[in-house]
């Protein structure tokens, strides 16, 4: 039996707890959260106990920690978990500061513990199937990538102020997709953007719409377009082209109903937001984490992926702020 401590009893913590409950041979032992009520409710639902970090890290029975708490706690928990030689699953980003993220990576490598970063999109059935086809050679070497990543609405400005900015908060997933799909590293990054939807976001020193271009070391090209407010919902598509063809990952729809009216032929909008769109991905991701712990699978992401995506987010932020191309 693998015992697990969960840090964070918010929305994403709840999802992970539910998925942990479905893993055979895995038991949720502690739920840790600054919000005692939330911790209590979640612990009770899954037969766990409310704990504090001290106790969770000290408990030798705890073999793995899931870090789904606020971003500013990630690095500390990673460092403590590495020191305690516990396997780590941590939500993105590792930290808002690249240096601190690198320190975490070093600690993880020194401790030689698994550390998966929550880039759940890699486990999405559509995205994973697309990647498998690339690996099977369907399109030859991937050469160009176009990523569309749009949210149905912006988070509260208070959240945005603490978020590290749109590139670290929102596009970090897209930067990971870029590295994963093109299987290459950035040579240069150009980012521009605007505040198109809410002046309060500009007031917070951020933007809500971006256009990013990455050129890789092998000369491959990626473009990412994002906006915080897509009236029609959560838009998560990408397409990748190689000499032999193109692969497209489309949105998922809640149902396959079509309505043919006197106006138009209408289909469902995409799944509402990330909790719906990536429900399957979160479950597969958590199963993968425990497969890794059980030696049934090699880890599909590492803390280095978290660091590299963060480095791209930082480069993009610099490019946008300083209005220049950032060479890497």
- Which residues sit at the interface with a second copy, rule CB under 8 A? 125-126, 129-130, 133, 138-139, 143-144, 146, 148, 150, 188, 190, 192-197, 209-211, 213, 215, 219-223, 225, 227, 229-232, 235, 241, 243-252, 254-269, 323-325
Asked if residues 327 and 187 have their Cβ atoms less than 8 Å apart, the reply is yes
Measured between alpha carbons, how far is residue 108 from residues 74, 105, 299 in Å?
13, 5, 14
Strands 62-67 and 2-7: parallel
State how far the Cα of 66 lies from the Cα of 118, in Å rounded to an integer: 10
- Helices 71-83 and 98-111 cross at an angle (nearest 10°) of 20
The structure tokens 């789904």 sit at: 68
Q: How far is the CB of 23 from a second copy (least distance, A)?
A: 14
Q: How far is the CB of 325 from a second copy (least distance, A)?
A: 7
81: its two tokens: 């978990």
Task: For a second copy, give the closer residue by CB, 257 or 298.
Answer: 257
Quick count: other Cβ atoms within 10 Å of Cβ 306? 29
Q: How far is the CB of 229 from a second copy (least distance, A)?
A: 7
Task: For a second copy, give the closer residue by CB, 112 or 261.
Answer: 261
Q: How far is the CB of 198 from a second copy (least distance, A)?
A: 11
Asked if residues 222 and 182 have their Cβ atoms less than 8 Å apart, the reply is yes
Task: For a second copy, give the closer residue by CB, 103 or 192.
Answer: 192
Q: How far is the CB of 149 from a second copy (least distance, A)?
A: 11
Task: For a second copy, give the closer residue by CB, 121 or 215.
Answer: 215
Measured between alpha carbons, how far is residue 81 from residues 62, 77, 104, 113 in Å?
10, 6, 10, 9
Q: How far is the CB of 222 from a second copy (least distance, A)?
A: 8
Task: For a second copy, give the closer residue by CB, 95 or 235.
Answer: 235
Q: How far is the CB of 283 from a second copy (least distance, A)?
A: 13
Asked if residues 59 and 85 have their Cβ atoms less than 8 Å apart, the reply is no
**Rounded to 5 degrees, what are φ and ψ at 7?**
-100, 115
Print burial letters for 110-135: b (CB count within 10 Å at least 16), e (below 16).
ebebbbbbbbbbbbbebbbebbeebe
């Amino acid at each position: 039996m693998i015992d697990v401590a969960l840090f964070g009893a918010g929305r994403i913590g709840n999802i992970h707890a539910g998925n942990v409950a479905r893993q055979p041979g895995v038991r949720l032992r502690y739920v840790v959260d600054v919000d005692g009520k939330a911790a209590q409710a979640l612990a009770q639902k899954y037969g766990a106990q409310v704990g504090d970090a001290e106790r969770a890290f000290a408990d030798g029975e705890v073999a793995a920690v899931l870090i789904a708490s606020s971003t500013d706690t990630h690095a500390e928990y990673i460092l403590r978990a590495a020191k305690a030689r516990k396997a780590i699953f941590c939500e993105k980003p590792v930290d808002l500061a690249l240096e601190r993220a690198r320190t975490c990576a070093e600690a993880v490598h020194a401790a030689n513990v698994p550390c998966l970063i929550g880039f759940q999109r890699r486990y999405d059935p559509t995205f994973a199937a697309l990647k498998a086809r690339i690996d099977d050679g369907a399109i030859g070497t991937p050469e160009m990538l176009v990523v569309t990543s749009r949210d149905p609405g912006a988070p509260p400005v208070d959240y945005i102020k603490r978020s590290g900015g749109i590139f670290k908060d929102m596009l970090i997933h897209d930067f990971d997709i870029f590295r994963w799909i093109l299987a290459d590293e950035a040579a240069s990054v150009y980012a521009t953007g605007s505040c198109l939807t809410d002046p309060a976001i500009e007031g917070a020193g951020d933007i809500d719409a971006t256009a990013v271009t990455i050129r890789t070391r092998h000369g491959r090209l990626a473009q990412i377009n994002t906006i915080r407010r897509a009236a029609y919902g959560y838009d998560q598509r990408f397409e990748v082209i190689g000499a032999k063809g193109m692969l497209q990952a489309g949105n998922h729809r809640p149902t396959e109903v079509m309505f043919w009216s006197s106006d138009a032929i209408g289909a469902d909008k995409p799944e509402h937001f990330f909790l719906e769109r990536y429900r399957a991905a979160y479950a597969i991701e958590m199963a993968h984490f425990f497969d890794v712990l059980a030696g049934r699978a090699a880890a599909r992401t590492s803390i280095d992926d978290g660091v590299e995506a963060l480095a791209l987010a930082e480069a993009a932020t610099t490019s946008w702020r300083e209005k220049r191309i950032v060479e890497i």
